[in-house]
Every structure is written in C-alpha cells, then in structure tokens.
Structure 1
Amino acid sequence: MAAPPWRKGIITRIENETPNTRRFWIQIPEVASFDFEPGQFVTIDLPIHEKPNKRWRSYSIASWPDGTNVIELLIVLLEGGKGTSYLFQEGKVGLELILRGPQGVFTLPKPIDKDLYFICTGTGIAPFRSMIHYIQEHKIPHKDIYLIFGTRKRDDLLYMDEMKRLEMEIEGFHYIPTLSRDQWEGCCGYVHAVYENLVNEKRTDHSVKEAGFYLCGWKNMVDEAKLRIQNLGYDKKSIHLELYG
C-alpha cells in the first residue's frame, strides 16, 4: 500500500499535561475530515537535519476519529532529543508542520471477541486513549479490557482523571495505573506483575484464557513483556506492538 501524502498541519492549541509532557492539537486544512483508525500514527518532518530520514518523528494519535480535521498528539520532552526539543521550543499556536499519515496496523481487532490487555508506559498511553474513546462512542461490543499504565511518579500519570471517568462509564473497562517510584493508594511496581496476576486469576484447569496483548511504551518494557507473556502460555500472534516506519 502506498504511503499517504505529505500534508500541511497547523498547531491550533497546546496544553501542558505534566511538567515534561504536552498535548498538541494539529489541524490538517487540506482535508475536511482526517480519517484514521484508533491506534494509528502520523510522521512529522521537522526542520532539524539535512537528511529526511533524520528529520522524521512518528507519534501515535491520542485523539479518536470524530469527523474533523484536527488530531491530538501527546509528546514528552526527551533529554537530548532534537525532535521534541524543537516542538517544545518552537511549537506555538499557528506554527505550520509537514506531516504524513495515518499509518500503522496497531489497531483494534474486529470483532473484539476476547479479553484485551493494553500495556503501556509514558506516552504509550496515546493509542489506547484513542481506542477506548472510539469503543465508547460507537458502542462496540467487547470483552474485558485492561489498561495497565506504568510510570515512575504520580506527577507522570497522563489522562488520569479522564481514564477514571471512562472506567466508571464503560462496562468491562478496567484502568490500572501503577507507579514504580512513588508510594500511593494504587498499584506500586512495574506493569508486568499486574498483567501476570490478572492472567493467572483467569486461568481455568491450568489453561490460559484467550486474550490479546497490545504493547506500547519504553523499549525495555516492551521487550520484557513479550517474553513474560509467552511464558504465560500465549503465542506471538497474541502480542501486538507499535512499529514506526
């Protein structure tokens, strides 16, 4: 399939989500409706290098298809990162960007006929936010969905109030944030113990219940989760990763 064309995007709004994470709303004026599947990403061509492949940065779309030409991106400032440094220093309302998308196959199964585990760290929550809102808005039938979001400190919990509200509104949706550094009233530690415990609780006659695992976030987490999920008895086909092109 041919890659989508490069288009102009315009930043229309910026909000701080945490001390080092910002939400950027981008309008694509060439189209009346920017259509995509929840979980897909866009690539931005930033003026940070002479070679194109060193200018490109890909970000999952944090919003959900709503019939408009505006999307939201959730971006964390990376130490020494040229792309995020440019967006944080130069990114202002009215700034024009060149972007391409949507792309990617990190999307919801059709139908959702088994439990889903959305396992993420940091801004890896972005594609899952898109998926969950889409499920709610379109009243898509589903089994249990577990959003297991790991980060270091309470200040780094992204979209927390929103996710807690969605948990109350969507039957079968379970939001489980866990912190690896701060002590608090919720889960403490890494994401791995959370999904392992959930899977083991659902075992029947020593067999695991059919499920799908979606991983997005820090590379070390994703690599470890792939191994742990297979050790639980699932094959590689049950594991889905975000791969940027």
Structure 2
Amino acid sequence: MLDQWHTGIVTKLVDETHNTRRFWIQVPDMERFDFKPGQFVTLDLPIHEKKNKRWRSYSIASHPDGSNIIELVIVLLEGGLGSTYLFNEIKEGSELLLRGPQGIFVLPEPLDKELFLICTGTGIAPFRSMANYIHLHGVPHAPIHLIFGVRYQHDLLYAAELEQLAGRLPNFNYIPTLSREENWSGKKGYVHSVYEDILQHEKRPANFFLCGWKAMIDEAKHRIQAMGYDRHDIHQELYG
C-alpha cells in the first residue's frame, strides 16, 4: 500500500506569503483521500535520476473532509531543487506523482492532557489540520496552545483563519511569536519562552508536538525535558 503511487492533479495555487504557496491537489483515482490530521504525503519530482533524491515529503495542511483533494503549503527554499521545481514548473492542471498518507505524527486519543503544538514556518501545516479537525468534530480536549514562530508578521501563515478558530474553539490558544518584527504588540522572540512561561508555575500533564526547523526542535526537546517532562511526552516532525 505504501509503495502505491497516485497521479495527483493540481487544481488550485495561491501565494500565501512572499515565499510560500498553497497547492491544492486532487487524486482522481481515489474516491476520497483518507488521512489522519498530522500525516504527510511524498511527492516524486523529476529533479534527479535517483529515486530517493527525487522524493520530497510535505505535511497535509487541510483536514480530512471526505473529498479526494488535499492542500499542501510549501516554502521556496533558496537552492532547494524540490521547491524550485514546484514553484517554477507547476501550474494549475499540472500532474504530480504522490504517495501516502504516511506518518505517525497524529493526535493522541483521548486528548486528556494539555496539548502544546509548537512550530516554525510551514511546520504550521499539520497543526492547522489538527485544529480544524478538533473543531469540526467537536473532539473533547484539554487546553491546546498553538505556538507559531516566524520572523515577521508577513511570514504568518493562515493568520486570519487561526485567529477566527481561536475565537470559536473553546480552550484553543493561538499564539503567534515574531522574532524580528518591530511593530508588533503580540509575543516577541522565540517559541521557547512561550511554553516555558505557560508552564513556569506548574508542571501539568502535557503532550508536546514539534514541527519545523531542526534547530528549533532540538532546542525545544532539550528545554521541555529540562522542565521535567519525559521524552515520551514529545512528538516531532522534522523539516530540512
């Protein structure tokens, strides 16, 4: 099953920020594309002779809605063969070879512990999927903190949508954190100070999901364990 590749058709493209693009992909040979929020797909791109050097994996940014269309959000990496191909060559109507869904970066059941969703950049994708799923299905949950770190306000992905969701979904806190923005009344600095502040007075049972750049994930794992949490409380999905 895992080795089964499908032809996807790009049905829509939207530039979300100056260097990120949203790709909607329909998989015509599947009636519905079933996945768990947090899972990813792998694309096979014509950028190398060797298979494993052609493969690029991306978390699904949309939530399972019973259709055969999924959304990916992809950042254009300087010198990145995969993202350069996707940005320069792929248009609406283009075909992409993909397989999936794959991955075990999925919500715990039940959601009876506080949940920290900590991400940078396009690492927001699986958490957007999870949060929308929890909201739409009325999944009972302990408090959820979505801590999203980027440099500038113009780098925030899905900002309006996540703010709306925070207003509608009880016990869901959306906390964008900007490391370089001057005119910003919200949280400044890096994501680490945010979860440390929330937990500084009391170590409560919690699950930590980390998605984004390796440096952030490595530092978060170190800091979370320094607060007294077990490594089994920490779940990660790496980018780059």
Same-fold status (TM-score > 0.5):
yes
Query: Which 5+ residue runs of structure 1 have no aligned equivalent?
Result: none
Matched residue, 2:228: 233
Work out the CA distance in 1 between the residues paired with 2:3 and 2:67: 18
Report the residue type matching 1:174 in the other structure. Answer: N
What amino acid maps onto 1:142 in structure 2? H
Report if aligned partners of 1:62, 1:73 keep a CA contact under 8 Å in 2.
yes
Q: Map of 1:21-60 to 2, 5 A cutoff?
A: 21-60=20-59
Secondary structure of the corresponding residue to residue 22 of structure 1 = strand
C-alpha contact (below 8 Å) 1:4/1:102 kept by paired residues: no
Q: Does 1:221 align with 2:216?
A: yes
Match of residue 140 from structure 1: 139
Give the AA of the match of 1:186: G
Q: Report the CA distance between 1:242 and its aligned residue.
A: 1.4
In 2, Cα distance between the equivalents of 1:105 and 1:135?
A: 17
Q: Give the letter aligned to residue 101 of structure 1.
A: G
Number of corresponding residues: 238
Task: Return the offset for 1:67.
Answer: 0.3
Deviation at 1:243, TM superposition (A): 5.3
Could you tell me which amino acid in structure 2 is paired with residue 29 of structure 1?
A: P
Which whole-Å CA distance do the structure 2 matches of 1:199 and 1:47 have between them?
46
- Alignment partner, residue 209 of structure 1: 204
Q: Counterpart of 1:190?
A: 190
Q: Where do 1:3-22 residues align within 5 Å? A: 3-22=2-21
In the alignment, the residues of structure 2 paired with residue 221 and residue 132 of structure 1 have an alpha-carbon distance, to the nearest angstrom, of: 21
Measure the CA separation in 2 of the matches of 1:102 and 1:79. 27
Q: Which amino acid aligns with 2:180?
A: R
Report the counterpart of residue 180 of structure 2 in structure 1: 181
TM-score (norm 2): 0.98
Equivalent residues in 2 for 1:161-172, closer than 5 Å? 161-172=160-171
Distance 2:237 2:27 in 1: 23
Give the Cα separation in 1 of the matches to 2:169 and 2:180. Answer: 29
- Specify the alignment match of 2:121 in structure 1: 122
CA distance in 2, matches of 1:23, 1:4: 25
SS in 1 for 2:199: helix
Query: Deviations for 1:149-206, whole angstroms, at most 9, x for unmatched residues?
Result: 00001110110000000000000000000000012111000000000001114x0xxx
Contact 1:41 1:59 in 2 (8 A): yes
* Kept in 2: contact 1:8–1:28 (CA 8 A): yes
Cα distance in 2 for partners of 1:156, 1:167 equals 19
Q: How far apart are 1:54 and its partner, in Å?
A: 0.2
How many angstroms does 1:4 deviate by?
A: 4.8
Contact 1:9/1:27, CA 8 A, preserved across alignment: yes
Q: Is the 8 A contact 2:15 2:21 kept in 1?
A: yes
Q: Is the 8 A contact 1:104 1:243 kept in 2?
A: no
What is the identity percentage for the equivalent residue pairs of Structure 1 and Structure 2?
62
Is the contact made by 2:9 and 2:93 (CA closer than 8 Å) also made in structure 1?
Answer: yes
On the 8 A contact 2:212/2:238 being kept in 1, the answer is: no
Q: Aligned with 2:101: secondary structure?
A: strand
Instruction: Report how far residue 5 of structure 1 moved.
Output: 1.1
Q: Which amino acid aligns with 1:57?
A: R
Aligned to 1:84: 83
Q: Which amino acid aligns with 2:186?
A: G
